[in-house]
Amino acid sequence: MDAFNYFAMSWLSPELLGLTALGTFLGIYVGAIPGLSVTMAVSILISFTFSWDVNYALCLMVGVYMGGVYGGSRTAILLNIPGAPSAIATALDGYPLAKKGLAGEAIGLSTIMSVVGGFVGIIVLAIAAPTVSEFAITFQPRDYMMLGILGIMLVGSLSGSSLARGIFAGALGLLIGTVGLDPMTAEERFTFGVVELWDGINPVAVMIGMFGISEALHQLHHMNKAVIKQKISRIIPKWSDIKKYMPLSLQTSFIGVIVGALPGTGGDIAALMAYDHAKRITKNPKVPFGEGAKEGLIAPESANNAAVGGAYIPMLTLGIPGDAVTAVFIGALFIHGLNPGPLLLVEQPHMFWFTVGNLTLANIFVLIFGLTGIRLFSKIVECPKGILIPLIFLLSIVGAYAINNAITDIWWMLAFGVFGYFMRLYNFPVGPVILGVILSSLTDENWRRAILSERGNIGDLFISLFHSPLSTVLFSVIVLILFTQSPLWTKWLKRKFFR
Amino acid sequence: MKKTTIALLAALSLSSSLSLADYPTKDIQGIIQWGAGGSTDTVMRSIAPHVEKELGGDIILTNKTGGVGAIATKYVNAKKADGYTLLMGAENPQMYKILGLSDIDYSDMIAINVLARGTPIIVANNDAPFNTMQELIEYTKAHPGEVKFGSTGPGGLTSIVTAMIDSQVKLDYTSIPYNGDGPALTALQGGAIDVMPAVLGATIEQIKAGRMKAISIVDIEANKLLPNLAPITDALPGMKSYLPWGPFFGVFVKKGTPDEAVEKLQAAFQKAAYNKDFVDLMQKRGFTIMNISGDEADYFLEAYRSTSSWLVHDAGFSKFSPEDFGIRKP
Amino acid sequence: MSSQSPMIKTRKPGERIFCFLLVLGSVYLFWQAYNISGFSSLSSPGAFPLAASAAMVLASCVTFLNTLKLPAAKDVSFAYHCFPPVIATIMALILIYSVVLESLGFILTSFAFLFISIQFLYRRSPLITLAITLFALIVVYIIFRLVFQVVLPEGIVPEREILSSIKSLWR
């Protein structure tokens, strides 16, 4: 009965309810603006809510987190600028939908599926948190390495028409991800003696440049074309659509929870893996992927919101953050005089069900706020290009600066914007670049840890893949995908035999 | 339009006449060397509100990460020396010179306050076949290359503690680097590494919950939080010459900052660090409050630099000799 | 790894040169990756960059060779279809913006950038442009500087002094 009381705490107190609503509302806009991250917003809230009661502070922060992860899809769909790395996969099919005048429907669908994902995450958190967290920390470096490889194999599905160009772009991304002081040995890699490069090139700067700036530059070609009138008659998706896509949404939500619960990976990787999953299991999409397939919108949106619940799992049970935002949450609990750690739930028994209840509430507010204001938002796409494009540039520049208060991030963002423009012009896909950047350190570091653990012996590393059931499963999945379903392989087969 | 211009101009002239009178006349920017959610970030965000109250002005906290804190250090030193840009950092800059990361360390800045110091501890996975420092040494000797030590890159706490141990007893182990003690301690619980030195505050909750075991405290005496844990000097008495040693958190300004601003900041931070909430918070996490400034702080910083620099140099992973920078031998 | 897709039948002007530059760039990066730690060990910091840059070299070579086989697209000119003056102008504007941003400060440079580029692209009366510019700038400033406390480059405008004196008027 206690559990229920704690669960309902934030529902019954008008102040807590109001703060959660406010947080969610703010979060949606924080998430939508590129460069403003949820991590940053929650950090600022720590100082702001310093003197408050801890429950009040948490309600506001949980709302911002839940809303923020969802909000990233807004700008991804409307402007092709993902508000956060977890919305990169959303842009791939969401933006083409907006270009067809279906922005309203796309946002509506992404809202519903985000909320579904959010609930799956919360349910797993509520009923299986201890099991999942014990499972998550048994991931060894070799398992993370294989996750990275699984992710890199997605290059196949993001390549578009030419695989060689896709591989080039993916490899470039991986290389960009290694720039800076190597976190393991402090060796300089591609820094050319420039101190500003020590911390590497920020993935968000690459993302804003490759997606936002290069798209805006491309739009300059079509200055005289009339703007696309948005059909805003249908916002809430058809019930038949929801039913049809529900299985996919649930599957990708589970991917999201697990990837979110792993301490080394977050919503961005979850969303990309979900996108790949959708592409593999959807045999005959109505619209091809990359041109506005609804499946390609639903999968990442379900997964990244499910990852929120996932990220809370190791945080609440073990005091280990599941992603960057939960790391800040741990700091916030600490500042408020609690002891985040494995004993948190013993010392503060209300914390678990309070958080679950609060997350549920925030998720409901995502639904409410997500479905309102869509008409207004869709108008952004109808804004005359002569005004919209300069504004996109301004927002991209300020956003890039905001990541780390560094002018150099602006430079990188612009450089990748111009380079991305030429890549698009000559039919190079830009998706794999940002995929590579995101997966680079995960793969590089864990590959090296894995081989160091076997004292540099690659044979031993291979044998170790069969030491644990988990590694064996991951390894089999990689082999299976490589030889049966992977677009890499099927493309090659098609070319060899069906041409 | 015109009215606002006039108002702004008036405000401007007002503020310029004020700026001479009393510091601070505008927001102070606090540059945190490490990312959101890290221990430096947490400490600074928890003291800042108390300082704001003392100063009567706002402090805008900004995380500026990169190059083990060198980018933030460089940034603060590129700003005007007017006391409006604070560097909120950890111990790392004291190793910059010998690691070739930067030519600025804390000796080139003014210490506002060295807030607190952490105590290193050696922890192990629950299934590890040793329970004390002596057993760890014996097991590692008996099984060369098999024990996996977690590390957090050269110049970090783990590397200096292992350098201390190496100076006493030659051990053959496999070192697995992680970026940060958070991920490494997670890996320790998952069994990817067996042992690692870490700061007490980051491990205390896990130890209390029985998720990892404490092998030894790297100090000359037992710690209040873990009274039954033997200090490392029991097994390795030679370590006494380095200890007590530990990572610290401090606030610094650029050299050349007007005395008036420095004194005000020092007074404000000193008062804030006495605040009960802050003291409680730090002690619960196993940090020893220092709250020192002026000569006392300079002495502490210099002692830290000389011990650590020579250890790292003798262990062979420094780029330059501490002698090049006039860092005396401890 | 033949990857010539049926969808790409012709090449655009500049495509060959671009692909050739990519080959050159990849080889340079491969050389840089080699310089990190050579072929010393599989766990060295340079191992992963070497693998990635090797893949870049291979993929860019394949792409370049494919473009050699393709016929040039008809009726497409570089100066009109690929890099028209409007794009060059905007790129130049952004370049100037980012160069002077730090020294002149966010408010002045952004104002100038927005005003010029909106005027250039939208071509309405300067008053409308001015209104849009001011409105956008104020919204961005409030969100980023005041709410999210991103201290934008101040340059020659003493923002913090102005802000604190406005605040003191309040108190």
Phi, psi of A389 (to 5 degrees): -65, -50
C160/B12 CB distance under 8 A? no
* Residues of chain A with C-beta less than 8 angstroms from the C-beta of B61: 43, 47
- Element holding B28 (H helix, E strand): strand B28-32
End-of-domain residue from the set B213, B241, B269: B241
Query: Which of C107, C145, C161 is the best substitution to test chain B (most B C-beta atoms within 10 A)?
Result: C161
CB contact under 8 A, A453 and B174: yes
Does the distance separating the beta carbons of C143 and A390 come in below 8 Å?
no
Do residues B182 and B285 share a domain?
no
My answer on whether omega of the bond before A183 falls inside 30° of 0, hence cis, is no
* Closest alpha carbon within chain C to B9: C162
Q: Which of B241, B269, B294 is the last residue of a domain?
A: B241
Are B12 and C149 in contact (CB < 8 Å)?
no
CA nearest neighbour of C91 among A96, C124, C107, C82: C82
Number of domains in chain A: 1
The contacts of residue A342 (CB under 8 Å, 6+ apart) are A317, A318, A319, B205, B206, B208, B209, B211
| Residue of B16, B26, B61 lying closest to C160 (CB–CB) | B26
Domain encompassing residue B35:
26-117+247-325
Number of compact structural domains in chain B: 2
Q: pLDDT value at position A177?
A: 92
CA distance C123 to chain B (A): 25
B198 three-state secondary structure: strand
Question: Within an 8 Å CB–CB cutoff, is residue C2 touching chain B?
Answer: no
What is residue A192's predicted lDDT score, i.e. its pLDDT?
Answer: 85
Mean of all residue pLDDT scores within chain B: 86
Q: Both B30 and B175 in a single domain?
A: no
Cβ neighbours of residue B296 closer than 8 Å, sequence gap 6 or more? none
Give contacts of A221 with chain C, Cβ < 8 Å.
Answer: 81, 84, 87
Same-domain check for residues B237 and B279: no
Give me the CATH number covering residue B298.
Answer: 3.40.190.150
Question: What is the distance in angstroms between the Cα of B251 and the nearest Cα belonging to chain C?
Answer: 20
Q: Is the pLDDT assigned to residue B280 strictly greater than 50?
A: yes
Q: How far apart are CA B62 and CA B36, in angstroms?
A: 9
Q: Which residues of C touch B153 (CB under 8 A)?
A: none
Domain CATH number, residue B153 = 3.40.190.10
In total, chain A counts a number of residues equal to 499
Which of B61, B148, B179 shows the shortest C-beta gap to A47?
Answer: B61
Q: Which residue do the tokens 């842009």 mark?
A: A91
In single-letter form, the type of residue at position A39 comes to T
Cα–Cα distance measured from residue B109 to residue B91, given in angstroms and rounded to the nearest whole number: 13
Give the nearest chain C residue to B57 (CA atoms): C164
**CA–CA separation, A284 and A159 (whole Å):** 18
Say how far apart CA A62 and CA A23 lie, in whole Å. Answer: 7
Same structural domain, B188 and B146: yes
User: Among A172, B186, A65, A19, which Cα is nearest to C29's?
Assistant: A172
* pLDDT score for C55: 93
Per-residue pLDDT of chain A (499 residues; tens, 9 = 90+): 688 888 888 899 999 999 999 999 999 988 888 878 888 888 888 878 878 888 999 999 999 999 999 999 998 999 888 888 899 999 999 999 988 888 888 999 999 999 999 999 999 999 998 888 888 888 889 999 999 998 888 887 787 778 889 999 999 999 999 998 887 777 788 888 777 787 788 888 999 999 889 988 988 887 777 677 777 667 788 888 889 999 999 999 999 999 999 988 888 999 999 998 898 888 888 888 888 899 999 999 999 999 999 999 999 998 888 888 888 888 888 888 888 888 888 888 888 999 999 999 999 999 999 888 787 777 777 888 888 889 989 988 988 988 878 888 899 999 999 999 999 888 899 989 999 998 998 899 899 999 988 888 888 888 888 888 989 999 998 888 777 655 555 666 555 544 4
Domain annotation covers residue B87: yes
Q: Tell if the CB–CB gap between C29 and A175 is shorter than 8 Å.
A: yes
B14/C165 Cβ within 8 A: yes
Binned at pLDDT 50, 70 and 90, residue C2 comes out as very low
Tell how strand B288-292 and strand B120-124 pair up. unpaired
Q: Note whether A80 and A212 are within 8 A (CB).
A: yes
Q: How many CB atoms lie within 10 A of CB B233?
A: 19
> What's the token pair of residue B272?
């804030």
| Confidence label for C8 from pLDDT (cuts 50, 70 and 90) | low
pLDDT of residue B21: 53
The reply to whether residue C62 touches residue A164, judged by beta carbons under 8 angstroms, is yes
Q: What gap in Å lies between CA A34 and CA A32, rounded to an integer?
A: 6
- Amino acid A498: pLDDT: 45
**Which range of residues forms the domain containing residue A317?**
2-497
Q: What is the pLDDT of residues A425-466, one digit of tens each?
A: 888 999 899 999 989 988 998 999 999 888 888 888 888 888
Q: Which residues contact A259 (CB under 8 A, 6 or more apart)?
A: A147, A265, A266, A267, A269, A270, A273, A303, A307, A310
For the record, the structure tokens of B32 come out as: 């945190």
Counting residues of chain C whose pLDDT is more than 70, the rounded percentage is 94
Specify whether the CB–CB gap between A293 and A280 falls below 8 A.
no
Q: B200-224: per-residue pLDDT in tens?
A: 888 888 898 899 999 999 998 888 8
With contact defined as 3+ CB pairs under 8 Å, the chains touching A are B, C
User: Which of A221-235, A292-306, B80-94, C136-150 has the least mean pLDDT?
Assistant: A221-235
CA-based nearest residue to A436, from A175, A186, A199: A175
Q: Give the minimum alpha-carbon distance from A246 to chain C in angstroms, rounded to a whole number.
A: 33
The string of DSSP codes covering B178-194 is -SSHHHHHHHHHHTS-S
Cβ distance of B37 and A330 shorter than 8 Å: yes
**Residues B160 and B306 both lie in one domain:** no
CA distance to partner chain C, nearest, from residue B137 (Å): 26
Answer yes or no: do A195 and B67 touch at CB < 8 A: yes
A-chain CB neighbours of C53 within 8 Å are 171, 175
Q: Are β-strands B109-117 and B248-254 bridged in parallel, bridged antiparallel, or unpaired?
A: antiparallel
Q: What is the pLDDT of residues A62-98, one digit of tens each?
A: 999 999 999 999 989 998 888 888 999 999 999 999 8
Name the C residues in 88-147 with CB < 8 Å from any A CB.
Answer: 90-91, 94-95, 97-98, 101-102, 106, 110, 113-114, 117-118, 121-123, 132, 136, 140, 143-144
Q: What is the pLDDT of residue A170?
A: 93
CB contact under 8 A, A404 and B63: yes
More confident residue, C164 or A282: A282
Residues 6+ apart with CB under 8 A from A440: A173, A174, A175, A176, A177, A178, C48, C52
- Which residue in chain A is spatially nearest to C1 when comparing CA positions? A164
Residues 128-167 (C) with a CB less than 8 A from some CB of B? 149, 151, 158, 160-166
Chain B neighbours among A 122-141 (CB < 8 Å)?
137-141
Q: Do B36 and A404 touch (CB under 8 A)?
A: no
Strand order in the sheet with B195-199: B174-177, B148-151, B195-199, B120-124, B213-217
Taking the C-alpha atoms of residue B1 and residue A128, their distance in angstroms, rounded to an integer, is 61
Determine, for residues A164 and C66 on separate chains, whether the beta-carbon distance falls below 8 Å.
yes
- Per-residue pLDDT for B242 more than 80? yes
Provide DSSP, chain C: -----TT--SB-TTHHHHHHHHHHHHHHHHHHHHHHHTT--TTSTTHHHHHHHHHHHHHHHHHHHHHHHSPBPTT--IIIIIS-HHHHHHHHHHHHHHHHHHHH-HHHHHHHHHHHHHHHHH---HHHHHHHHHHHHHHHIIIIIIIS------TTS-HHHHHHHHHHHH-
More confident residue, C162 or A499: C162
Minimal Cβ distance to A164: which of C63, C106, C121: C63
Residue B227 lies in a domain: yes
More confident residue, A110 or C149: A110
Partners of B281 on chain A (C-beta within 8 Å) are: 334-335, 337
Mean pLDDT of B10-38: 68
The 3-class secondary structure across chain A, one letter per residue, is CHHHHHHHHHHHCHHHHHHHHHHHHHHHHHHHCCCCCHHHHHHHHHHHCCCCCHHHHHHHHHHHHHHHHHHHHHHHHHHCCCCCHHHHHHHHHHHHHHHCCCHHHHHHHHHHHHHHHHHHHHHHHHHHHHHHHHHHHCCCHHHHHHHHHHHHCCHHHHCCCCHHHHHHHHHHHHHHHHCEECCCCCCEECCCCCHHHCCCCCHHHHHHHHHHHHHHHHHHHHCCCCCCCCCCCCCCCCHHHHHHHHHHHHHHHHHHHHHHHCCCCCHHHHHHHHHHHHHHHCCCCCCCCCCCCHHHHHHHHHHHHHHHHHHHHHHHHHCCCCCHHHHHHHHHHHHCCCCCCCCHHHHCCHHHHHHHHHHHHHHHHHHHHHHCCHHHHHHHHHCCHHHHHHHHHHHHHHHHHHHHCCHHHHHHHHHHHHHHHHHHHCCCCCHHHHHHHHHHHHHHHHHHHHHHHCCCCHHHHHHHCCCCHHHHHHHHHHHHHHHHHCHHHHHHHHHHHCC
Question: Considering CB atoms only, which of C5, C56, C81 is closest to A161?
Answer: C5
Tell me the per-residue pLDDT of B116-143, one tens digit each, with 9 for 90 and over.
Answer: 998 999 999 999 999 999 999 999 999 9
How many beta carbons lie within 10 A of that of residue A164, not counting itself? 23
Tell me the nearest-neighbour CA distance from C157 into chain B, angstroms: 11
Question: Are B174 and B149 contacting, i.e. CB atoms less than 8 angstroms apart?
Answer: yes
Query: Does B107 map to a domain?
Result: yes
What residues have CB less than 8 Å from C100, skipping those under 6 apart? C109
Q: C58-79 pLDDT, tens per residue? A: 999 999 998 888 888 777 777 7
Does residue B6 sit within a domain?
no
Q: How far apart are CA B322 and CA B329, in angstroms?
A: 8
Quick one: DSSP state of residue B260? H
Least CB–CB distance from A337: residue in B42, B190, B281: B281
- B1 pLDDT more than 50: no
Res A496: pLDDT: 52
Residue numbers in C near A384 (CB within 8 A): 122
Best residue in B3, B9, B26 to probe C by mutation, most C CBs within 10 Å? B26
The answer on pLDDT for B179 being more than 80 is no
Q: Chain A residues with CB inside 8 Å of C102's CB?
A: 407
The H or E element spanning position B46 is: helix B39-55
Chain B: residue whose CA lies nearest to A445: B178
Whether B27 and C163 lie within 8 Å, measured CB to CB: yes
Residue C10 contacts B, CB cutoff 8 Å: no
CB contacts of C36 in chain A (<8 Å) are 187-189
Q: Report ipTM (2 d.p.).
A: 0.89
Helix (H, G, I), strand (E, B) or coil at B156: coil
- Between B271 and A285, where is the model more confident? B271
Distance CA B14, CA A402 (A): 31
Q: Does A324 touch chain B (CB under 8 A)?
A: yes
**Shortest alpha-carbon distance between residue B291 and chain C (Å):** 28
Question: How far does A182 lie from chain C, in Å, by closest CA?
Answer: 7
Tell me, yes or no, whether B218 and B139 share the same domain: yes
Distance from CA of C86 to the nearest CA of A (A): 7
- Residue B36 to residue A325: CA distance in whole angstroms: 9
Task: Report the pLDDT value the prediction gives residue B13, as an integer from 0 to 100.
Answer: 45
Average pLDDT of B17-33? 74
Fill in the DSSP letter of residue B319.
Answer: S
Note whether B68 and B129 are same-domain residues: no
**pLDDT at A493 (0 to 100):** 58
B87 phi, psi to nearest 5 deg? -100, 120
Q: How confident is the model at residue B20 (pLDDT cuts 50, 70, 90)?
A: very low
**3-class DSSP state for residue B226?**
strand
Q: 């896909």: which residue's tokens?
A: A429
Nearest to C98 among A190, A389, A414 (CB): A414
